[in-house]
A and B are shown apart, each in its own frame.
Chain A
């Protein structure tokens, strides 16, 4: 794709995102759905930093998503923190966990790495489930809600005003995505892509593989935890389901559905998946089959995802 086309595409995405609460209603959606798409999109794009750009498959990202969610929720419930510090706390907790676990598993690859990430994800699910006193256990963490943000000169009521919260989430999304884009554009990012393409060759070229993979893992988990914190704020609630491996699977399918090799792909994938899930589950009890079918069809017929297909279509 030529540079001009890329810029135009980026601009189009930005415009769509900026006005989503407005055009969403016209096609039967609602503002909360739009916010959900932005949050899930951020999560999928964060995962894709590791999956699509470094070529490492993690099937346990929901663990860090959930840690971000719980961190933020607990900060608000127990510490009475404001919104931004709450997000900060959630992110810090999840990132520290990612740093430790990443160090443990960075030597593993492929199928084994994936299995271990699943298992670790379950560990956190399990802790959230059992540590009743702190996390509310299976009931989840309730009895709190997001507070309006006081900027001193202005007050953003993100609690009552759905649209205000959407734009707040969008702003956070923009910051994170911008950071990821910058990182991918840097020499570090280029090394990651080299690792993805051919790890052995990259190693021979002197790229410190383990360190790069670890760092990529940590970055990826950091941004996914921001998405998790936003998710908790969106629901005014968090529960152990936010940590389970089926959510991890959803993130992966979003990335693949949209196109793993492209930057915006996971966002597109998230939009399709979230909207589809919302629509289908409202119309039929058998929505699980439909979602399962989506997984199967994407893998069999659209492994390169929507943007992947468009790209090769443009070339042909």
Chain B
């Protein structure tokens, strides 16, 4: 019995990491946009849904892998257009306005998705060989979940590599700390923000394609995922991408553990964590000083 229990715990923790990685992917995109531009992108879930639906539409023509490659950049392109038209004029203004704008965009996205693809859930086809378990004992390790981990790891790794080693990344990191100085140094801040936004939306689109394989694809697919992303950022700490990554993983594992000991609290536990973090260390685990004011 004890061996069974510890096996269940192990399963759930491992599984929690996988789910947490997925939350982290979504939260990272959100965090990226928030850190550089101070914009809370309420429409992030909408972009996720859009990425998923674009993939769904493309699959009959270019297959799953083609859709995986093509859908996120298409979503990012749309994100760039929206950033240029609607969000750019709001930089420097009270964060209230960008919040309201993305809030309204979220409504529009959900409605337009419903208009184009219907209110009904649509079946999302993942290649059959991904859909099987890797072993009978570790049956929860499906090919798809492992694949998701790999993609998320690659995306996160890619993001951190871009931030560390490319000029764009360096500028983004510098801009997060002090945008004014970066601007005086001759960097085109507008382009920087746009590209940053684009990267963030790319991640949302990618998360969407991955989500569609795991969940039912309907217009409300993004709505349930945005809250855990917020909590991941608060727990991990504002201003720190690594913090967001850790926050996402922690949330996933916490939910997994809760599933073993308090099954009905799997949702509540992430808010309890948030409450604790705010009480004990308000700036979050890896948050930076001075961010709170």
Give the interface of A toward B (CB within 8 A): 51, 57, 59, 104-105, 107-112, 114-116, 118-119, 122-123, 126, 130, 246, 249, 252-253, 256, 286, 288-289, 291-296, 298-300, 303
User: Which residue of chain B is the closest to A289 with respect to CB atoms?
Assistant: B111
Nearest CB in chain A: distance from B120 CB, A: 14
Answer whether residue B135 sits at the interface, using C-beta atoms and an 8 A cutoff: no
The 5 closest A-B pairs by CB, nearest first: A295-B104, A292-B107, A292-B108, A288-B111, A292-B104
CA distance A256 to B99 in the complex (A): 12
**Separation of A293 and B112 alpha carbons in the complex (Å):** 12
A288–B38 alpha-carbon span in the complex (Å): 26
* Distance (whole angstroms) from the CB of B196 to the closest CB of chain A: 16
Q: Which of A57, A109, A303 contacts B292 (CB 8 A)?
A: A109
**Which A residues are in CB contact (< 8 Å) with B274?**
119
Chain B residues within an 8 Å CB radius of A286:
111, 115
The stretch of B10-18, B147-155, B185-193, B264-272 in contact with A is B264-272
Q: Which residues on the A side are within 8 Å of B38 (C-beta)?
A: 110-111
CA distance A246 to B223 in the complex (A): 11
Residue of A111, A253, A298 with most chain B CB atoms under a 10 A cut-off: A111
| Shortest Cβ distance from A250 into B: residue | B103
Contact: A300 with B275, CB < 8 Å? Answer: no
**B101: which of A105, A123, A295 is its contact (CB, 8 Å)?**
A295
Which residue of the partner chain A has the closest CB to B115? A286
Q: A114-B40, A252-B96, A292-B108 are in contact. Are A119 and B231 (CB under 8 A)?
A: yes
16 A-B Cβ contacts within 8 A? Answer: A57-B99, A110-B38, A114-B96, A115-B40, A119-B230, A130-B264, A249-B103, A256-B100, A289-B107, A289-B115, A293-B104, A294-B104, A296-B86, A296-B101, A296-B104, A299-B100
Contact B95 A292 (CB under 8 A): no
The complex places the Cα of A114 from the Cα of B234 at a distance, in Å, of 11
A126→B271 contact, CB < 8 A: yes
The smallest beta-carbon distance between B31 and chain A, in angstroms, is 11
- Contact of A119 with B90 in the complex, beta carbons under 8 Å: no
With A and B bound together, what is the CA distance between A112 and B274 in angstroms? 13
Contact with A along B237-260 (1 / 0, CB 8 A): 010000000000000000000000
Provide the residues of chain A in CB contact with B108, threshold 8 Å: 288-289, 292-293, 296
Of A110, A116, A130, A292, the contact of B234 (CB 8 Å cutoff)? A116
Interface string of B83-105 (1 = CB under 8 A from A): 00010011001111111110111
Bound-state CA distance A202–B231 (Å) is 32
Q: Which of B86, B89, B104, B278 has the most CB of A within 10 A?
A: B104
Contact B40 A296, beta carbon cutoff 8 Å: no
On whether the beta carbons of A104 and B99 are closer than 8 Å, the reply is no
Q: Does B106 contact A (CB under 8 A)?
A: yes
Please tell me if the beta carbons of B230 and A115 are within 8 angstroms of each other in the complex.
Answer: yes
CB-based contact B234/A115 at 8 Å: yes
Rounded to whole angstroms, the CA-CA distance of A289 and B46 in the bound complex is 13
The reply to whether B275 and A123 contact each other, CB–CB distance below 8 Å, is yes
Cβ proximity bits B110-122 to A, threshold 8 Å, 1 near / 0 not: 1110010000000
Chain B, residue nearest A104 (CB) = B278
Contact between chains at B97 and A112 (CB < 8 Å) = no
Q: How far is the CA of A162 from the CA of B154 in the complex (A)?
A: 61
Which B residue's beta carbon lies closest to that of A123? B271
B281 at the interface (CB under 8 A from A): no
Please state if A105 and B278 are interface contacts (CB–CB under 8 Å): yes
A112 to B101, CA, bound (A): 17
The verdict on B291 contacting chain A, using a C-beta distance below 8 Å, is yes
Given A107-B282, A111-B38, A288-B111, A57 and B271 contact (CB-CB distance below 8 Å): no
Please determine whether B104 and A291 come into contact, CB atoms closer than 8 angstroms.
yes
Q: Which residues of B contact A110 (CB under 8 A)?
A: 38, 95, 293
Q: Are B104 and A299 in contact (CB under 8 A)?
A: yes
